[in-house]
Amino acid sequence: MAKLNAVMLSGFVFTVPREIPVDSTGNYYKAVSFDITIERKRLINGFDKLTVICYNDTAEKAKTLRKGDYIISDEVELRTTNYKRTIEYICPQCHHYEEKEINSEKTEIVVRDYAVIPRARPQSLLGVNRALMMGNACTPVDYFRYPSGRGQAQFKLAVDRTGMMKRLQHADYPFVLMYGQEADYVKENLEVGNLVMVDGYVSQREIKQKFPYICPDCGNGYEQTEDNKIVEVIAYRINLLKYVETSSVKEIEDKRKEDLENVKSYNEELKAKEDENIFDFDLNEENSEKEVDDAISEIKQYKKDNPDDDDGMLKDDDDISNFLDSIFEE
């Protein structure tokens, strides 16, 4: 899994920071939440509105923020958390009432640190909203085509949480949404497990979420509708890195040792072949006439010093010359 979960935000504080519970018991543990507005001229309504969360020391710092302050941060990330959610079911036919706890997942925009310009003038500062993500696709692509012909695609991305130690490894799973040509490209090419680079911005919107239910008293089936807020990354560009492979240090070291052993073995084989050659000249290179004459003289001297060694030896000068000519011609 890849480790890139980087968001840059700058905008105006829209609501006063408020403490929020961070566990199922409702305990408050140095966590505050507030809304910011990010002005961007290319948007139809002119601005993004995002709810951000600060923890621990940053939460204490954020308690001093006031509405209208301008904050800048390049230490922002998207975090996915699981929580218990209570749904109230009221049967529209017999009015049976029941509460159920369900497991839900939410994505938070976490600001680890920031700089602030107190009471900045809105006309002088535009907002920044940029997200860079790299991770593995962990769900199939959910594709939809509008009547106009424009495509929409959505999938979940698994990324390592920034700053987590190996023994506390944790992943976050933000949704990635894209439109048009990018959506068509992802539909045709993206597979679960592929490594993906996403360049886009963070979006937050409210949706109507439906929960199917069958009344235990009258058997009537219906869908309970609840408001929900979702955070996702709207992608400008998607790069599929599915052919990128990573190797561990041990695998690289083992391969290096194997290559060294192969080279050593090859050198030993060459040395053995050189030792078998009685005469010290290279038959694969072009030899001058002097080198040929020297070779003939060496053969004659060997015959003189070893008269009893007739196995495979050349008998006269013509044989020697013809033998050497045939080798050099090759």
Domain holding 57: CATH number? 2.40.50.140
What pLDDT was estimated at residue 1?
46
For 149, the domain range is 4-240
0.75 surpassed by pTM: no
48 within a domain of the structure (yes/no): yes
**Domain-embedded: residue 136:** yes
Q: Residue-wise pLDDT tens for the chain (330 aa)?
A: 446 888 999 989 999 999 887 665 555 567 899 999 888 765 555 688 899 999 888 998 999 999 888 999 999 999 988 888 888 888 888 888 888 888 888 899 999 999 988 876 666 677 889 999 998 898 999 999 988 888 999 999 988 876 544 444 578 899 999 999 889 999 988 888 888 999 999 999 888 888 888 888 888 888 888 888 889 999 989 988 865 444 444 554 565 556 556 656 656 666 665 555 544 444 444 444 555 566 666 666 666 776 665 544 555 555 555 655 555 554
Give the total number of structural domains in the chain: 2
d(CA 36, CA 16): 10
Q: Do 124 and 211 belong together in one domain?
A: yes
pLDDT at 73: 93
Helices and strands (H and E) in the chain: how many: 5, 13
Q: To the nearest 5 percent, what fractions of the chain are helix, strand and coil?
A: 25, 45, 30
| 25 shares its domain with 158 | yes
Same domain assignment for residues 45 and 118 = yes
CA distances from 138 to 81, 192, 196, 238 (A): 16, 5, 11, 15
Is 60 among the domain residues? yes
Same domain, 56 and 179: yes
Domain-located, residue 245:
no
Quote the CA–CA distance of 161 and 159 in Å, as a whole number. Answer: 6
DSSP structure class, residue 161: P
**Together in a domain, 284 and 139:** no
CA proximity to 112, closest of 157, 163, 167, 173: 163
